[in-house]
Amino acid sequence: MSYQSQVQAAAAAVNGKPGWESISAESVARMRLQNRFQSGLDIARYTAAIMRRDMTAYDADPAAYTQSLGCWHGFIGQQKLISIKKHFGTTDKRYLYLSGWMIAALRSEFGPLPDQSMHEKTSVPALIEELYTFLRQADARELGGLFRDLDAARDAGDAVKAKAIENQIDNFQTHVVPIIADIDAGFGNAEATYLLAKKMIEAGACALQIENQVSDEKQCGHQDGKVTVPHEDFVAKIRAIRYAFLELGVEDGIIVARTDSLGAGLTKQIAFSREPGDIGDQYNSFLDCEEIDVGQVGNGDVVISRNGKLLRPKRLASNLFQFRAGSGEDRCVLDCINSLQNGADLLWIETEKPHIGQIAGMVNRIRDVIPTAKLVYNNSPSFNWTLNFRQQVYDAMVAAGKDVSAYDRARLMSVDYDATELAQEADERIRTFQRDAAAQAGIFHHLITLPTYHTAALSTDNLAKEYFGDAGMLGYVKNVQRAEIRQGIACVKHQNMSGSDIGDDHKEYFAGEAALKAGGAHNTMNQFAA
């Protein structure tokens, strides 16, 4: 609906109502445009449709992959989307990622926690709601600026400029984008997963990522000690999430099924099997077992009968059962196929390194069964990207018979190698990793889980070093404020970013000429007008 149509619709609602003569239909239309999304469910339905379209586009052309950065606060997510719109003119194919790790480390009332699902589960939907509150405020702020420009053009009698601004309003692209939100292992059983999923969807999440670890043994995907669950347990949670989406009317909701089997060598349960070859039997076939006879069964032993043989799975003192070494990739492939066959939409394989060949090897096996299989992939800060890719280039040089005597493979992270041909080739591979992996390894969505955690730490360290050192105030002015001004960072006008101008607009709507507005001649933000 065009801007003028919005004004006309508001006029139909306002005009003729006794006592409403001072209500401006155009102001009502503006407030409606600034508050397009009335609820989190509105957002979830809108963004789910975006993701579905993007998934279809990727199936047609792998160059149409999508990206996101993890954000631990609404302001961080807001600034990310404002920057994307500024630099690229569109938010298309750019999402938000909500990291369970960052919630545990930064958003728990207990204080910083490891990524083990010990934080309050309600903190997850709370952050989703916060992120979308800040994105909706970014919409209101940008539209408010357009409305003020429109008023100025009208006051100047410039009809051409006024029409051009109306066209900008009509074609305004919201900052609200899809969010892929981490529900960890569901924080309990399938019912607990369903209840939390509903809260996350009601807050606005259109895509939920769930992993196949045991809830009460959950570990970060890049740490040791991970314990997986049998497929039927995991499928029950996938169904629970699907029911939550459907109950709330988000029929396009997306489920991302994550497998940690590549790095998880343990299971808490032996799967129930009805017949040879079923999914429980396949899960159990990866257990590290020894063949025994009846006379060797000891007190408390758990044994499995398979193909007429009696097998005793290796059980640790922790009461966990061990998988065979080297079975991780096969288990990942089975996990992924079974998840897609039982309602998941996208896959996540947590790997120990960013290696396109390794990822593609698993994806190709999955696609032999399900041709449209595609991944969400964590371009994780837990990887040492520099070292990994320099070693990959080194190994490729060795395989090609090139002379590598100038390099020490164990020391390739050293600054001594930064200007070498090897390092430059590694950096080029890092630069094109997302594009190449999307084309070769079925990666639909690339994300970095914890980037803003690291950028906040780095920028704060640099500021503290300068400000509390010899540079003093120049440490802030030169490296922060001056850089903000020259790079056009919107929040240099922090009063405007916090909503001061929106508040002034409302004061004028509500009080007319009697409004006491903050944006007058003595507002110091006017120093940043140039």
Q: 509-512 contacts: CB < 8 A, separation 24 or more? A: 509/24, 509/27, 509/31, 512/22
State the catalytic residues.
220
Q: Beta-carbon neighbour count of residue 37 at 10 Å?
A: 19
Write the burial class of residue 3 (CB in 10 Å: 0-12 exposed, 13-18 middle, 19+ buried). Answer: buried
| Strands 94-98 and 179-182, sheet pairing | parallel
188: left (phi over 0), alpha (psi -120 to 50) or beta: left
Would you say 211 and 184 are in contact if contact means Cβ atoms under 8 Å apart? yes
Would you say 282 and 228 are in contact if contact means Cβ atoms under 8 Å apart? no
Q: Which ranges of 368-480 does DSSP label H, i.e. alpha helix?
A: 385-399, 421-431, 433-440, 451-467, 473-476
Would you say 267 and 315 are in contact if contact means Cβ atoms under 8 Å apart? no
Q: At 361, is the secondary structure helix, strand, or coil?
A: helix
Alpha-carbon dihedral 225, 226, 232, 235, rounded to 10 degrees: 160
Chain position carrying tokens 């988000």: 250
**Rounded CA separation 502/515 (Å):** 13
Q: What's the chain's Rg over C-alpha atoms?
A: 28
Helix and strand numbers (H, E) in the chain are: 20, 14
Would you say 169 and 146 are in contact if contact means Cβ atoms under 8 Å apart? yes
Would you say 375 and 444 are in contact if contact means Cβ atoms under 8 Å apart? yes
Q: What is the DSSP letter of 477?
A: I
SS (H, E, C) 265-314: CEECCCCCCCCCCCHHHHHHCCECEEEECHHHCCCCCCCEEECCEEEEEC
Alpha-carbon dihedral 294, 299, 305, 309, rounded to 10 degrees: -30
**Rounded CA separation 136/79 (Å):** 12
| Strands 254-259 and 207-211, sheet pairing | parallel
